[in-house]
Amino acid sequence: MPLALLALAVGAFGIGTTEFVMMGLLPDVANDLNVSIPTAGHLVSAYALGVVIGAPLLAAVTARLSRRTVLIGLMGLFVAGNALSAFAPGYDSLLAARFLSGLPHGAFFGVGAVVATNMVAPARKARSVSLMFLGLTIANVAGVPVATLMGQHLGWRATFLGVSAIGLAAIASLALLIPHDHAQAPAVGLRGELAALRSLPVWLALGTTVAGFGALFAAYSYITPMLTDAAGYADASVTLLLALFGVGATIGNLAGGRLADHAMRGTLFGGLASLVAVLGLFPLLMSTQWTAALAVILLGAAAFITGSPLQLMVMEKASAAPSLASSANQAAFNLANAGGAWIGGLALAAGFGVTSPALAGAALAVLGLGVAGVAYAVDRGRVAPQPTRERLVAVHVPQTSETLYR
């Protein structure tokens, strides 16, 4: 694997850290800015909104530029957004800065996935994507806990300055390691990128992402009350347990990349089926502390084993112009985040119990399997050989004695 993938992973590490660290900093931010915690929670939504809007928009605006230049520019915007967050004088300015920080997220992963696959042999494409995503999963293991502790001891502003420093390191890595020949501007331009989004298989792949990762976030958004109220863990133990989720996500991401290079669709179906099983067993697994810890690891592994095949499937369905579709898949991830959390919340509000969001997630994973099955049927229909009419042609051969003898 080329060393340039490390530069993409560093950028992914910074993005993953700033995306998830706000959950741990909400009380500190709320107290410092004199707002309620629910109001401070809008800072999480502002970032997600930035991802959904920025992913297709920035990919479209930069369609004619060198992908290497685009990646460096996106990381520069990321640094600016986090620096503005650190120096925001009030809540409204912080809300705007968080929205700005989210804008480059999806486009960076989308364009980065295209660059990563261009640098390796076809048999290693999924593995290259998983190595870029490795930065995101490691952020959940190390980046978010360390950044949260930094915010609690040095102030939440110091956390965003630290994330900005990670972004600067990513810019330097991208400039040094990303080769010019594998990250040139695409030949198709914006019109070709938009044309790729008119494909039904692309939209079915995006729908699988929304349903599959919506299943994850339906449960993960409410994992803390499950661990404390159902499994009996103390509040202080939750941070360590969430790091276990990152460990499971890292394992699933690496395994998914290797398996998808051998059987992309089989890995996708297997991952979604595993997610159905894990979420379906969540009420039982949350009955004891050790099985609850195991459930957190399994949830991360089962969800992220599908990450690389989903990203690669979208890119293959838009193979002529993959940058915009690849970035749109990142917007789909964040739609899954918002939609899954909403559906899980409906199950809680209906009084079905503290573990009911996991069962709602299992239903979403079944839906994801169904959409993936439809996509598979569409693909088979498109490549199935069409019946042809054979035409018999009569050829006159002179019947000489010599030819009859032979």
* 59-68, 126-135, 191-200, 256-265, range with the lowest pLDDT: 191-200
pLDDT at residue 385, as a whole number: 47
Mean local confidence (pLDDT), 272-289: 93
Average pLDDT over residues 301-306: 92
pLDDT beyond 80 at 184: no
For the cut 80, the answer to whether the pLDDT of residue 403 exceeds it is no
Express each pLDDT in 94-147 by its tens digit. 999 999 999 999 889 888 888 888 888 888 888 888 888 888 888 888 887 888
Hunting for tokens 């838009």 — which residue is that? 318
Give the burial string for 285-294 (b: 16+ CB within 10 Å, else e).
bbeeeeebbe
338 pLDDT band (50/70/90 cuts)?
Answer: confident
The mean-pLDDT minimum among 10-24, 70-84, 270-284, 384-398 falls in 384-398
Block residue for tokens 């590490």: 13
Tokens 């998808």 appear where? 260
Residues 22 and 364: their CA atoms lie apart, in Å, by 26
Give Cβ neighbours of residue 322 (< 8 Å, ≥ 6 apart). 114, 196, 314, 315, 316
Average pLDDT of the residues of the chain: 84
Residue 82 has pLDDT above 90, yes or no: yes
Band (pLDDT 50/70/90 cuts) for residue 152 is confident
Q: How far apart are the first and last CA of the chain?
A: 62
3-state helix, strand, coil in the chain (%, to 5): 80, 0, 20
* C-alpha distance from residue 379 to each of 200, 201, 211, 333 (Å): 10, 7, 19, 23
Average pLDDT over residues 379-390: 56
Residue 291: the pLDDT is 94
* DSSP structural state of residue 318: T
* pLDDT over threshold 70, residue 268: yes
Q: Residue 199 is encoded by which pair of tokens?
A: 């494909």
Dihedral sign from CA coordinates of 230, 235, 237, 240? positive
Task: Tell me: pLDDT of 75 over 70.
Answer: yes
Q: Name the CATH superfamily, with its identifier, for domain 192-383.
A: MFS general substrate transporter like domains (1.20.1250.20)
Measure the CA–CA gap between 219 and 343, rounded to whole angstroms: 9
Contact 138, 13 (CB under 8 A): yes
No. of H helices and E strands in the chain? Answer: 19, 0
pLDDT of residue 10: 92
Given a cut of 60, is residue 375 above it in pLDDT?
Answer: yes
Residue 232 confidence (pLDDT) = 86
- Nearest of 299, 290, 305, 162 to residue 242 by alpha carbon: 299
What percent of the chain has pLDDT above 90? 33
> Hey, do 1-185 and 192-383 end up sharing a CATH topology, with the first three levels equal?
yes
What is the rounded average pLDDT of the residues 379-406? 49
Short-list 109, 125, 51, 318, CA closest to 204 = 318
Closest listed residue to residue 144, CA positions, set 296, 309, 15, 337: 15
Q: Could you tell me the pLDDT band of residue 316, with boundaries at 50, 70 and 90?
A: confident
Overall average pLDDT of the 212-224 stretch: 87
Q: What is the pLDDT of residue 325?
A: 79
In 3-state terms, what secondary structure has residue 307? helix
pLDDT over 50 at 326, yes or no = yes
Rounded distance between C-alpha atoms, residue 106 and residue 73, angstroms = 13
For position 192, what pLDDT does the model report? Answer: 64
Q: Is the pLDDT of residue 384 over 60?
A: no
- Crossing angle of helices 200-220 and 307-317, in 10° steps, is 160
Q: What percent of the chain has pLDDT over 70?
A: 89
Residue 29: which of 46, 15, 16 has the closest Cα?
46
Which residue type is seen at 232? Answer: G
C-beta atoms surrounding 281 within 10 Å: 15
Residue 386 has a pLDDT of 46
Inform me whether the pLDDT recorded for 190 exceeds 80.
Answer: no
DSSP state of 291: H
Average pLDDT on 377-386 reads 67
Task: Round to whole Å and give the CA distance between 48 and 30.
Answer: 19
Longest dimension (CA), the chain: 109
Q: Report CA Rg, the chain.
A: 24
Integer Cα distance of 372 and 34 in angstroms: 46
Kindly write down the DSSP assignment for every residue of 332-380, as one continuous string. Answer: HHHHHHHHHHHHHHHHHHTT--TTHHHHHHHHHHHHHHHHHHHHHHHHH
State how far the Cα of 358 lies from the Cα of 364, in Å rounded to an integer: 10
pLDDT band at 358 (very low <50, low <70, confident <90, very high): very high
- Domain ranges (residues) in the chain: 1-185, 192-383
Predicted pLDDT of residue 390: 44
Question: CATH says 1-185 is which class?
Answer: mainly alpha
Indicate whether 87 pLDDT > 60: yes
Give residue-wise pLDDT tens across range 22-45: 877 777 888 888 888 678 778 877
pLDDT of residue 164: 94
So what's the pLDDT on residue 185? Answer: 57
